[in-house]
Amino acid sequence: MSNYVTAIGLDVHARSISACAFDPMTGEVSRARFGYDPASVAEWALGFESPKAVYESGPTGFHLCRALRALGVDCAVGAVSKMHRPAADRGRKNDRRDAEWLARLL
């Protein structure tokens, strides 16, 4: 059993979820995109070693967090007001980059 986790960042919207998994040991990044289906996200996340997911707090994610926890995925909620983005990243915002940024923060 290893002592690290695979960090999974989730950018959640009403109809879609962009996901990015970051393995800190190898530096490998895996990406996926889902419709709003917690079971699909959980199945993908549980394919990694010691997964832990995080998403930015918002109205669309609280249901997802509860569903992922019920399906066996450790999930945390990140407070947007406490996350500081570099100034260079502010103009290049998209779902894929947001998911990767969250995974690397975790």
Evaluate if residue 22 carries a pLDDT over 60: yes
More confident of the two residues 97 and 16:
16
How many other CB atoms are there within 10 angstroms of residue 23's CB atom? 17
Domain 6-103 falls in which CATH fold? Nucleotidyltransferase; domain 5 (3.30.420)
Q: What is the CA radius of gyration of the chain?
A: 13
Whole-angstrom distance, CA of residue 39 vs CA of residue 17: 12
Is the model's pTM score more than 0.75? yes
Please report which helix (H) or strand (E) contains residue 79, including its range. Answer: none
Binned at pLDDT 50, 70 and 90, residue 85 comes out as low
Whole-angstrom distance, CA of residue 31 vs CA of residue 18: 8
Evaluate if residue 88 carries a pLDDT over 60: no
- Provide the residue ranges of all domains of the chain, joining segments of one domain with +: 6-103
Mean pLDDT taken over the chain:
83
